[in-house]
Amino acid sequence: MKRRDFLKKAAGGGLLAASAVTAAPAIAAPRKRFNWKLVTTWPPNFPIFMEGVQRFADDIEKMSRRRFRISVFAGGELIPAMQTFDAVSQGTVQMGHGAAYYWAGKVPAAQFFTAVPFGMNAQGMNAWLYNGGGLNLWRDVYRPFNIVPFPMGNTGVQMGGWFRKEINSIADLKGLKMRIPGLGGKVMAKAGANPVLLAGGEIYTALERGTIDATEWVGPYHDQRLGLYRAAKNYYYPGWHEPGPTLELSVNSKAWAELPEEYQLMVENAAAAANTWMLSEFEAKNLQALQSLKQQHKVNVLEFPPDVIRELRRLTAEVLEDEAKKDRIFREVYQAYRSFNSSNTAWNEISEAAYANALTV
Amino acid sequence: MKRRDFLKKAAGGGLLAASAVTAAPAIAAPRKRFNWKLVTTWPPNFPIFMEGVQRFADDIEKMSRRRFRISVFAGGELIPAMQTFDAVSQGTVQMGHGAAYYWAGKVPAAQFFTAVPFGMNAQGMNAWLYNGGGLNLWRDVYRPFNIVPFPMGNTGVQMGGWFRKEINSIADLKGLKMRIPGLGGKVMAKAGANPVLLAGGEIYTALERGTIDATEWVGPYHDQRLGLYRAAKNYYYPGWHEPGPTLELSVNSKAWAELPEEYQLMVENAAAAANTWMLSEFEAKNLQALQSLKQQHKVNVLEFPPDVIRELRRLTAEVLEDEAKKDRIFREVYQAYRSFNSSNTAWNEISEAAYANALTV
């Protein structure tokens, strides 16, 4: 049980943690109280994301009978959203929630723990992280930053994005100004597009005014709330660039070591429960929103042409090789990811993909 | 938050639970101790299944500092495997673990909470159960039996089974003696096969001696351990009859109501964590086993022909209609299941299925 080793090892330094490993006394002494702060990269009231984090905090508070309390802050409430990683790393706060690929500038390899273009979907990511060595690797990568990461949430396969004009060939991507961050953006640049970075609040206006020609955001539920269907009518699938982004809970490693074992296990269990709850909520809400986008808002829901997909897939392999040359840790994680992904794809082809096919054949 | 309502409502009768809802005192009094028994439908040391259940029990014991202990029993150790439902219902034990479709004789509608031929996969089942009203329905169906159910584990898409002869057309199913239980068995009977019921321990010998011509079991990992590749060489996919069976934790409702809120939440969170852990472990182990079956044991891994799949799908609809006519509760759950599944399939086609296609197109 690698998880147990990790818990013991990570907790080993803390006095309270050490005592929790020994046999419990007949009537246990009351535990030290913990009042923690959790900062996130999300806007206030951002549905599903913030709901999932709040459920996690509420459940831990109740499981611990209010001895372990976690106050949740939206991005900007306590510190700017994009300083979440640093704040947890430095111990300014004990916990953060966001997505690992936001820290690509600092830790390029972090991108593998969120999503990679043409990489693993949510089910594959969970299998890799929990049961294929991925989470241990993630912890190795974050150790120099004094952060212990946990998977906590997943959006499922995202949509490919909103386009003012139809995409009928790879030539239609040339010169296209598209809001698309990360590795997906690098792939689009190789295809001749101009990837643009814009915060969530700026996207609608930019697309509506034609400052950009296209944008990706999340999925039908969040995209509908942002009103993107009013600014562009062509809604492409699938989200080749983000096929199942894992969200992350980050915990300062010194704070983690000071937690008694029972609270560590509450964090671990509540994070895993929130992981599945968020994905399930995305699935349930996306399917409702998709129907309303098609029926009420007359959106054209279109599949990327096979030629375009093939070319983006080819360019993705190039981008990953480029990045691997630049950074040793990226290279190592890429190798482990690719190896698991390759077996996972083989299994998927005869399980999930073959089953999906059996429903329509 | 329907979950919160449920917890309060279900716990309302219990004195301890009621006190836990009020504000915690500065130093909380030590809690009453609970020593529970959990019986399962699984053989001793049955990998993944029994491991997941044991992790669940261990985590709760540690989270509660040994005040809430759950002893786990394999099928037959305390009571016969197939009496799990009755034992939990009558309060002989507080908890059980198995699969809802085992109780189809008593509760035909229970089958929807495990798996339905050509129905939802693991991700769809989680979305329906946690976030689409499915779990509330499941609790309604089990209420007359004094059982509170929780999803806890999933095998993912199973394999279609081991066949001594190749299946090239629906005619090849005529007269075929196949070990296949439940609704899948009823569909096979409509296709002209002879479905047979056999316990796990009897399958290998029956197949090896030709007493049966085919069998389904679980997936590559468990099937390899049973040695089925030595008795038949044709291994068909996908598992149209069990596309993502949900496993169940059942709790006696009186015992549940007596649990303080913090222990209820430990059960809920640990069950959800085990739900994902088991599926992830299946995924990770199945892909390894599949490679070894193909490479070392020269198994023919074959896809069911489209004609066969189409006919089985058509017959499945007939079987479900037949069952719906016989039982009012089956009919009601079928309606809810079908409605969610229909939207879920539409969303899947442009998310997961389209993405799987983008990897190979």
Structure tokens at B34: 């609970």
Mutate to test the interface with A, among B3, B55, B62, B129 (most CBs of A within 10 A): B62
Cα torsion for A232, A238, A240, A246, to the nearest 10°? 100
Note the pLDDT tens digit of each residue in B75-100.
999 999 999 999 999 999 999 999 99
Element (DSSP H or E) covering residue B237: strand B234-237
Residue A3: what pLDDT?
Answer: 54
Residue B200: what pLDDT?
Answer: 83
Backbone angles phi, psi at B98, to 5 degrees: -175, -140
**B182-186: which pairs have CB atoms within 8 A and are 24 or more residues apart?**
B182/B101, B182/B104, B182/B111, B182/B241, B183/B101, B183/B111, B183/B116, B183/B117, B183/B241, B183/B316, B183/B319, B183/B320, B183/B323, B184/B117, B184/B216, B184/B240, B184/B241, B184/B242, B186/B319, B186/B322, B186/B323
CA angle B285, B290, B293 (to 5 degrees): 125
pLDDT band at A199 (very low <50, low <70, confident <90, very high): confident
Q: Identify all chain B residues contacting A241, using CB atoms and an 8 Å cutoff.
A: none
Note the pLDDT tens digit of each residue in A308-353.
999 999 999 999 999 999 999 999 999 999 999 999 999 999 999 9
Q: Please tell me which of the candidates B124, B269, B359 has its beta carbon nearest to residue A118.
A: B359
Does the pLDDT of residue B116 top 80, yes or no?
yes
Contact B88, B251 (CB under 8 A): yes
Note the pLDDT tens digit of each residue in A292-307.
999 999 999 999 999 9
pLDDT band at B197 (very low <50, low <70, confident <90, very high): confident
Query: pLDDT > 90: what percent of chain A?
Result: 88
CA closest to B236 among chain A residues: A350
Q: Identify all chain A residues contacting B275, using CB atoms and an 8 Å cutoff.
A: 276
Residue B231: what pLDDT?
Answer: 97
Buried b / exposed e across B32-43, counting CB within 10 Å, b at 16+? Answer: eebebbbbbbbb
Does the pLDDT of residue A11 top 70, yes or no?
no
Q: How far is B248 from chain A (nearest CA, A)?
A: 16
3-state secondary structure of A23: coil
Q: Identify all chain B residues contacting A131, using CB atoms and an 8 Å cutoff.
A: 277, 280-281, 283-285
CA closest to B288 among chain A residues: A343
Does the pLDDT of residue A50 top 90, yes or no?
yes
Rounded Cα distance, B167 and B195, in Å:
16
Q: Which CATH architecture has domain B2-18+34-154+243-283?
A: 3-Layer(aba) Sandwich (3.40)
Q: Which residues pair with A177 in a beta bridge?
A: A194
Q: Identify all chain A residues contacting B129, using CB atoms and an 8 Å cutoff.
A: 280
Rounded Cα distance, A120 and A346, in Å:
12
Q: Identify all chain B residues contacting A355, using CB atoms and an 8 Å cutoff.
A: 121, 157, 238-240, 243
Residue B199: what pLDDT?
Answer: 80
| B124 close contact with A: CB closer than 8 A | yes
| B284 close contact with A: CB closer than 8 A | yes
Q: Identify all chain B residues contacting A352, using CB atoms and an 8 Å cutoff.
A: 121, 156-157, 352, 356
Rounded Cα distance, B293 and B21, in Å:
53
Note the pLDDT tens digit of each residue in B17-72.
333 333 444 455 567 899 999 999 999 999 999 999 999 999 999 999 999 999 99
Q: Please tell me which of the candidates A24, A237, A240 has its beta carbon nearest to residue B66.
A: A24
Q: How far is A190 from chain B (nearest CA, A)?
A: 19
Could you tell me the CA-to-CA distances from B222 to B79, B119, B285 in Å, in that order?
24, 22, 9
Rounded Cα distance, B125 and B337, in Å:
10
Evaluate whether the domain defined by A2-18+35-154+244-283 bears CATH number 3.30.70.1380: no
Mean of per-residue pLDDT scores for chain B: 92
A185: Cβ–Cβ under 8 A, 6 or more apart, which residues?
Answer: A195, A197
DSSP B157: S
Residues 254-273 of chain A with CB under 8 A from chain B are 261-262, 265-266, 268-270, 272-273
B204: Cβ–Cβ under 8 A, 6 or more apart, which residues?
Answer: B226, B227, B228, B230, B231
Residue B11: what pLDDT?
Answer: 39
pLDDT band at A10 (very low <50, low <70, confident <90, very high): very low
CA closest to A125 among chain B residues: B280
**B73-80: which pairs have CB atoms within 8 A and are 24 or more residues apart?**
B73/B37, B73/B38, B73/B39, B73/B40, B74/B40, B74/B42, B74/B43, B74/B44, B74/B45, B74/B46, B74/B50, B75/B39, B75/B40, B75/B41, B75/B42, B75/B43, B77/B39, B77/B44, B78/B37, B78/B39, B79/B39
Do the domains A158-237+298-326 and A2-18+35-154+244-283 match in fold?
yes
Residues 20-59 of chain A with CB under 8 A from chain B are 20, 23-24, 27-28, 30, 59
Contact (CB<8Å) A273/B268: yes
Residue B305: what pLDDT?
Answer: 98
Mean of per-residue pLDDT scores for chain A: 92
Q: How far is A344 from chain B (nearest CA, A)?
A: 6
Rounded Cα distance, A122 and A246, in Å:
7
Domain boundaries A158-237+298-326, corresponding CATH code: 3.40.190.10
Residue A28: what pLDDT?
Answer: 52
Q: Please tell me which of the candidates B20, B126, B343 has its beta carbon nearest to residue A280.
A: B126
CA closest to B61 among chain A residues: A262
| B302 close contact with A: CB closer than 8 A | no
Domain limits of chain B? 2-18+34-154+243-283
Residue B287: what pLDDT?
Answer: 86
Mean pLDDT computed over A248-259: 98
Note the pLDDT tens digit of each residue in A59-88.
999 999 999 999 999 999 999 999 999 999
Does the pLDDT of residue A14 top 70, yes or no?
no
pLDDT band at A49 (very low <50, low <70, confident <90, very high): very high
Does the pLDDT of residue A162 top 90, yes or no?
yes
Mean pLDDT computed over A79-107: 96
Q: Please tell me which of the candidates B24, B128, B348 has its beta carbon nearest to residue A356.
A: B348
Mean pLDDT computed over B111-129: 97
Query: pLDDT > 70: what percent of chain B?
Result: 92
Structure tokens at A357: 């096919």
Contact (CB<8Å) B238/A347: no
Note the pLDDT tens digit of each residue in B316-331.
999 999 999 999 999 9
Mean pLDDT computed over A118-129: 98
